[in-house]
Amino acid sequence: MNWRSIWAIARKDLKEVAQNKVAWGPAIAIPLIFAIIMPLLFTLVPRFIPVEDVQRELGDIESLLKNLPETVRILFSGLNLEQMFVLYMTSFMLAPLFLIMPLMFSSVVGADSFVGERERKTMEALLYAPTTDMELFLGKVLAAVIPAISLSWLTYIVYIIVVNVASYSLFGRIWFPLPMWWPMMFWLTPAFALLGVSATVIISSRVKTFMEAYQLTGSLVVLVLALVIGQVTGILFLGAGTVMLIGTLIWMIDAFLIYVSIRSFKRNLLISKL
Amino acid sequence: MTPIIEVNNLQRRFGDNKAVDGMTFAVEPSEVFGLLGPNGAGKTTTVRLLNGILPPSGGTAHVFGFDPVTQGQLIRRKTGVLTETPSLYERLTASENLEFFGTLHEIPPSHLKDRVAEMLDFFELTSRARDKVETYSKGMKQRLALARALLHKPPLLFLDEPTSGLDPEAAQQVNDLIASLSHTNGQTVVLASHNLLEAQRLCDRVAIINHGRILALGSLDELSKKLWPVTWADVMFHVKPAEKTMETLKSHPGVIQILDGAKNDAVSIQVDSEAVIPEVIRYLVQEGESILRVNPRDYTLEDIYFALQAGEA
């Protein structure tokens, strides 16, 4: 395995995608919304609107808490209504939404890398290079996965800082993140990043343009929305154990999709689609 | 000498379409070998098969002794390919394009920048090296694509329509380069083209192909002799020759027929070999005819090509 070639392919793809405004628009907007605007909104809301009014709109927080497992409910004991609201919203409600980022970033870069290369008619010269199919594949996967994970982690760091700073006067201490965030960051996020790119590779063999691939992989967001709904309704609560379990399941799906992707990423199949 | 490329009954089908239909040929070291044919004749597919990009449906091929089916990577290390479209990364600069492909071709990092600068200089792109390729003219892109194909000094080059899109001056420069690659550097060149004038000037031998089959294979001289074993000499006189002289000439050994030329003082004489032409001239001079000019008729690659394609049709 020639790692110099693999990294060269990854770097080249990233340089290319960096020029794709369609790809980078959401990459800037979504972290900004998730890491700054939403936590600020949820931590500052109780200061300007009476919690009773918020409660009226969102339903009784205490009844929501009843859906949570005992281990989590302990986290809320002894907190006042404002603190409970901020903790619930920033730690639980928003948590699954963060998984949109690795999924979206990796599928956008993946779509630009796998389909865009074909659309821009640059694939043929690349196929004549003395790299193996596996090296080409790995270079392109790394180009999608590494920035997706890095950007997600960066967004988590900003989110952690914003939540703690904005709610410091309310809690009087640094309290965030809660334990379930760690497996989400280091186990579930990479799994979702790989899911985005592996699904893109499979989709890319069936579409002609970057936009088609981008739109199709966008449908994977349904997975994240299912987690959000599960969380809100109390059907599926994202505690540390659940996150580990879901992560394991996603990794298994990743392994299957990567296996299928590698089988479809062959020079003779790629050239016949040019 | 062991051929660089050996192809034996090579076939490639796409469904019912036979893109390559039983080709057999060999390419010798330092040769400029032309693959000539119309669009869709099978030129690009042949290049892909020889580089291990596509597997054949039948037959065998060896490039540097390697089998493209199982050793494509080893072959691609030693080949440079100029594809039909430049296939450049337009969002990247010329330097970035060359550095990327130089890395894939395993040019050591310590030499890469120097080699890239050398190629940019050779193709007169240095002043635009840091500009994105999307701002380049068609000719500049073609020059950059050529630079990419030559970057790692491959002993075997596949050039698909190398002067496509170039102005006459740039095309001349590229043709001179191709000639020097073979004659000075000893590199072997496979030129896939339908530019017959270019091929005639550059190629030592050609394979004229259509519908995936080789219609003829050989040097220009070999092909013209094969197609037209007899030859013609166009003779222009200063004064119209005597009818009696021309009548007698018709029965001269080796003379097949005599046709009046477009002008009164010109005739075309068909002979069974070039060796007869000096004897014909000697006879005419002896008879007191004043000859202004004698042109043994040369066949161009274009004549050969169209004769073969017409025969194929």
**Distance from first CA to last CA of chain B, Å, rounded?**
37
Rounded CA gap, A274 and B87, in Å? Answer: 11
| Kind and range of the H or E run holding B81 | strand B79-82
For residue A167, with 0-12 CB atoms within 10 Å meaning exposed, 13-18 middle and 19 or more buried, which class applies?
Answer: buried
According to the model, what pLDDT value does residue A52 have? 67
Strand ranges of the sheet holding B156-160, from the earlier edge strand across to the other edge:
B79-82, B156-160, B188-193, B32-36, B205-210, B213-218
Nearest chain A residue to B69 by CA distance is A268
The alpha carbon of residue B29 is apart from the nearest alpha carbon of chain A, in Å, by 21
CA-closest candidate to residue A206, choices A105, A114, A107: A114
One pLDDT digit (tens) per residue for chain A, 274 residues: 889 999 999 999 989 888 877 777 777 888 888 888 888 888 887 777 776 666 665 566 666 677 677 777 777 777 777 888 888 888 887 788 888 888 888 888 888 888 888 888 899 999 999 999 999 999 999 999 998 999 999 999 999 999 999 888 888 888 888 888 888 899 999 999 999 999 888 888 788 888 888 778 777 778 778 877 777 766 666 677 888 898 999 999 999 999 999 988 889 888 877 7
Rounded CA gap, A28 and A147, in Å? Answer: 13
What pTM did the predictor assign?
Answer: 0.84
Beta strands, E only, B169-264: 188-193, 205-210, 213-218, 231-237, 255-260
User: Which residue in the set B74, B88, B104 is minimally distant from A122, CB to CB?
Assistant: B88
Extract the tokens encoding B42: 């099978």
Triad B63, A121, A123: Cα angle to 5°: 45
Query: Contact A121/B87, CB-based, under 8 Å?
Result: yes
According to the model, what pLDDT value does residue A108 have? 86
Question: Torsion-angle region of residue B267: left (phi > 0), alpha (psi -120 to 50) or beta?
Answer: beta
Q: Which residues pair with B93 in a beta bridge?
A: B132
Residues on chain B touching A2 (C-beta within 8 angstroms): 106
- CB contacts under 8 A, B 27-66 vs A, are 48, 51-55
What ipTM does the predicted assembly reach?
0.84
Residues on chain A touching B54 (C-beta within 8 angstroms): 267-268, 271-272
pLDDT beneath 50, residues of chain B? none
Query: Contact A129/B96, CB-based, under 8 Å?
Result: no
Cis peptide bond upstream of B162, omega within 30: no
Query: Cα separations (Å) of A125 from A257, B83, B285?
Result: 27, 7, 62
According to the model, what pLDDT value does residue B219 have? 85
